[in-house]
Amino acid sequence: MKIKYMSLYAGTIVAALSCLAFVNGCSSPKYSRSAIPGDLNTLCLLSDAESRSISPENQTGERAGGAKEIPDEDSKSYRLGKGWKVRPCVTIKRGETFELMNVEGPGLIQNMWITMAGDGSLERRCYILRMYWDDEKEPSVECPLGDFFCNAYKKWAPLSSQAVCVGPRQAFSCFWPMPFRKKARITLEHRGKEPIALFYQINYALGDVPDDAAYFHAQFRRSNPTKGSLHTILDGVKGRGHYAGTYFAWRCRNYIWWGEGEIKFYMDGDTEYPTICGTGAEDYVLGSHNFEVLNEKKFWIYNTPYAGLIQAEEAKEPDSVSSYGMYRWHITDPVRFNSDLRVTIQDIGWAPGPYVTQNSDISTTAFWYQTEPHAAFPKLPSDKELEEDYGSELVSRKNSIKAKGAK
């Protein structure tokens, strides 16, 4: 993000100076109305931004609009009465698209928490999350729910990072700042089989949004398997903005080290050669040396504020499938672009010996900010393509080394 946020910091300084003037008896304080919060150092500063929250207990976020539901005779709260946890969740059935949020701005979404209950709650790619800013008809966010919260697989993976947190059992939270000027709309489409109980809370602030605040975007892609040993994370981005992070759900059947591929960022007219080129998949997520513990030959699971490997289900036999989940947030080092952006990662393994090309099953969620309007997203994979197991065009370690040459 080109740190221009002068409106935010200017507002912070104005608030601080106004407080000082008030103490000296000069005038009453004038508070910033910026909806964008500061950090721990500025948490003490007052603001005229208005806090709001949407949940099943207050689905519009209106002032004094919560806890108004009246329990019926079948409710767990019937004997307690109105105001006593009458509607903590909503039920969504197959084929329904539920609107979580639809509010007018300007403002900023600060935090979103979601969890589910029911027989289909682990089918996380059956639920499609979409977000629309202002008057746009096409979403700026379109992604399976589990992949958006770094939990693509049907097994819980705890996560503690600055942008995304996942608590027991599948409590999904994100802290990506999401500004909107006219309107914010969020929906969840149910493509699964069984009804689910959806619990959610979206915290936001109504207030001024700086002119230089870009819009939040997230896009899901899957290569199952990769073609030409290459996976496209993001392509076709037009406009000005900055890349903010990547989540990988990476599956492979080659019984070798799989993460030698380099990530590449092509920006602002780059064609054959990228401006930014990584040195390996594990290096990109701030790991090293195959994620292995020294002399123990096993993966080390870790998560940090900005990067981590949070799942590693290793293959036990040469033709079985290994599954990995990892993330990298560019919060302190956003990748800035002025006109266009394309991001790819190679699918390369190592035996040892020469590098070998692979055909892994790679899913990614790309997170970025940019000016609107944004380019159209590629069509989301079908239900079958989202849920289907690893592709059939796979090879064992022995066949991989024989069939593939160095690249």
Which residues contact residue 26 at a Cβ distance below 8 angstroms, ignoring those fewer than 6 apart? Answer: none
Long-range contact pairs involving 274-282 (C-beta distance under 8 Å, separation at least 24): 276/335, 278/345, 281/248, 281/250, 281/326, 281/345, 282/309
> What whole-number percentage of the chain has pLDDT above 70?
87
Residues 401-405 have a mean pLDDT of 40
Tens of pLDDT, residues 44-59: 999 999 999 999 999 9
| Per-residue confidence band for 37, with pLDDT thresholds at 50, 70 and 90 | confident
Residues 122-151 have a mean pLDDT of 95
Q: Are 396 and 319 in contact (CB under 8 A)?
A: yes
> What whole-number percentage of the chain has pLDDT above 90?
66
Tell me the whole-structure pTM to 2 decimals.
Answer: 0.88
AA letter at 336: R
> CA–CA separation, 255 vs 407, rounded Å?
18
What DSSP string describes 21-51?
HHHTTS-----B-BSS---GGGTTS-B--EE
Q: How far is CA 285 from CA 118, 236, 307, in A?
A: 33, 24, 5
Span of 80-84, 101-105, 136-140, 370-374 with lowest mean pLDDT: 80-84
AA letter at 349: G
Which residues contact residue 7 at a Cβ distance below 8 angstroms, ignoring those fewer than 6 apart? Answer: 34, 208, 210, 211, 212
Kindly state the tokens that stand for 80. Answer: 């307690």
Tens of pLDDT, residues 191-237: 988 999 999 999 999 999 999 999 999 999 999 999 999 999 999 99
> CA–CA separation, 172 vs 303, rounded Å?
15
| Per-residue confidence band for 318, with pLDDT thresholds at 50, 70 and 90 | low
Phi/psi class of residue 83: alpha, beta or left (left: φ > 0; alpha: ψ in -120 to 50)? left
> CA–CA separation, 287 vs 20, rounded Å?
46
The per-residue pLDDT of the chain, averaged, comes to 86
SS3 402: helix
Set out the domains of the chain in order of their start, with CATH numbers: 1-48 (no CATH), 50-61+85-403 (2.60.120.1390)
Tens of pLDDT, residues 357-397: 999 999 999 999 999 999 999 999 988 889 877 654 444 44
What pLDDT score was predicted for residue 78? 64
> Tokens 């819009």 correspond to what residue?
215
Tens of pLDDT, residues 320-339: 788 999 999 999 999 999 99
